[in-house]
Structure 1
Amino acid sequence: MSWHDKVVIVTGGGSGIGQAVCLQAARKGARVVVVNRTAEKGEHVAQLIIDEGFEAIALQGDVSSEADIQRVVAETISRYGKIDVLVNNAAVCPQVRLTELCLEQWNHVISSNLTSVFLFCKEVIPHMLQAGGGNIVNVSSVHALGTLEGYSAYAASKGGIVSLTRAISLDYAKQNIRVNSVLPGAVHTPMLEASIKNLDTPKEQIMNSWKESQPMGRVGTPDEIAEVILFAASQENSFMTGATLVSDGGMTAEL
């Protein structure tokens, strides 16, 4: 589709994959709403877009807060009058074994990663219906398919996103709203670096082991995942809904 004047909301847009989605969407001609819990990071990305001559605004918001989500959607509609694309990308990823995970931590992961998708879709879809359609991409993870020690809450939330995506896609398939999920593998983002910062092994050694363990011999880049997300949201991809797109360098193909 032509991205010219399309309004795109990206959660977790202040860094990593979210930042790459924001920049690529803006360069295609979209008007981008950068949503981030830390206002400074969102404002930084929006300014990068503006400095390149494109259009963006930054809205601070905690995706685990229904009130914040309602405010972000209301401000977007007030500013632009519509929402064409929603990318649910924001997530948290603590690495804690199940018996060491308290209920508060569990609830925080589920509300930030999974409930946020429900709430954003719930707020945005009525506006898409009024406009005659729209596209939603929910960023899950290969942890929805296979996981590692210490990721019980994260894996549960990401598996839930895949199932929720399928269900929402069926609810609105006849109303021209497509909903798909993208499952990144190991991608060099601040989240990946944060997940290893407290380990005793030097970061460089861990990153090298991550690269060597991938079938392609390297981890992915945020730009590579952003391309998949924007493909999922594009009108050229108009017959795909409820789908799960895996972009993991072959990780889940390997025994």
Structure 2
Amino acid sequence: MNGKVAIVTGAASGIGRGIAEVLLREGCRVSVLDWNEEEGSSAVTEMTDDREQVQFIRTDVSKEADIVRAVELTVAKWGTVDILVNNVGTHYYRAVEQVTTDEWDRVMTTDLRGHFLMMQKVLPIMTEQAKGAIVNIASVHALQTVPHFSVYAAVKGGVVAMSRSIALEYASKGIRVNTVLPGYTRNKNVDRILNELDENERSERKRRMAWNIPLGRLADPVEIGEAVAFLASDRASFITGTTLAVDGGESSHLSWGHWK
């Protein structure tokens, strides 16, 4: 992957940052996109001090003008876009009756429309060079979900279906589109919760967080990044239109106990 140019959205922290770190390690040049300028700038500084390999672009994917600008700045710096990873996402934990129209619209605009517009803006570039790889990050909630996640489950299912259709549309143009479904993954909120607990409480909370995961623990963001890097690389050259769960086996079994 040496020298390939990648865009990763929502890459200031969590899964997005894990993906960006792996792509950088594999030799990619990476545009780190995020709405949080402070976290994004800090992230790229911590990843590497080589500004020829990484740049931060403040981007709100709910705004089409921000998306256009991000793609333009990436092309201006490195000449093309070889890889797009749509990771950015948001959600609300709400009972159906409590979901507001504004909350519904925000999730759909960020998690679905944002993915679509990012693809729409990079696909002409990839088409011109007759190659490219797109990896969309959805969630295991696209397959199996829990109460109070109706909006999130709907949007992640939409990402999977949209990715399949675009994969079919652009296969003949040398462009591959795949989807990764992360399971429960460590992020700054999880770390904040754990850091507030003493050692015994922390151990018990980790056990409760991972109670339904066969591998017995949460994923590290870098582990999601490894799967994404594979799908974006030439080693996955015959893989398109597929959906890969990276969830420690969580979506592979039925849970007969009460949901916790």
TM-score of the superposition, structure 1-length normalised?
0.92
Cα distance, 1:192 vs structure 2: 5.2
Matched, 1:22 2:20: yes
Task: Pick the aligned partner of 1:42 from 40, 65, 71.
Answer: 40
Cα distance, 1:195 vs structure 2: 10
In structure 2, the residue matched to 1:10 is 8
Cα distance, 1:156 vs structure 2: 0.6
TM-score of the superposition, structure 2-length normalised?
0.90
Cα distance, 1:191 vs structure 2: 5.5
Give 3-state SS (helix, strand or coil) of 1:230's partner.
helix
1:129-158 Cα distance to aligned partner (Å, 9 max, x none)? 112210000001000001111111111110
**Structure 1 pair 39/99, CA: closer, same or farther in 2 (3 Å)?**
same
Deviates more, 1:170-179 or 1:66-75: 66-75
Q: Is residue 143–residue 155 contact of structure 1 (8 Å, CA) maintained in 2? A: yes
Matched, 1:219 2:196: no
In structure 2, the residue matched to 1:199 is none
In structure 1, the residue matched to 2:141 is 143
Consecutive unaligned residues in structure 1, runs of 5 or more:
197-201
In structure 1, the residue matched to 2:258 is none
**Structure 1 pair 158/194, CA: closer, same or farther in 2 (3 Å)?**
farther
Moved segments of 4+, more than 6 Å: 193-196
Correspondence 1:38-117 to 2 at 5 A: 38-51=36-49, 55-117=53-115
Distance 1:71 1:54 in 2: 19
Cα distance, 1:52 vs structure 2: 6.9
Cα distance, 1:42 vs structure 2: 1.3
Distance 1:77 1:191 in 2: 33
Cα distance, 1:37 vs structure 2: 0.7
**Percentage of matched positions with identical amino acids:** 38
1:168-222 Cα distance to aligned partner (Å, 9 max, x none)? 00110000000000001111113656899xxxxx887544311232111111111
Distance 1:93 1:207 in 2: 22
Cα distance, 1:47 vs structure 2: 1.2
| Count of aligned positions | 248
Matched, 1:240 2:239: yes
Distance 2:98 2:2 in 1: 48
Distance 2:205 2:149 in 1: 18
**Structure 1 pair 195/139, CA: closer, same or farther in 2 (3 Å)?**
farther
Q: Is residue 143–residue 157 contact of structure 2 (8 Å, CA) maintained in 1? A: yes
Distance 1:91 1:245 in 2: 18
Distance 2:112 2:235 in 1: 28
- One-letter amino acid of the structure 1 residue matched with residue 23 of structure 2: A
Once superposed, what is the RMSD of the aligned Cα atoms? 1.9
Q: Is residue 94–residue 195 contact of structure 1 (8 Å, CA) maintained in 2? A: no
**Structure 1 pair 191/64, CA: closer, same or farther in 2 (3 Å)?**
farther
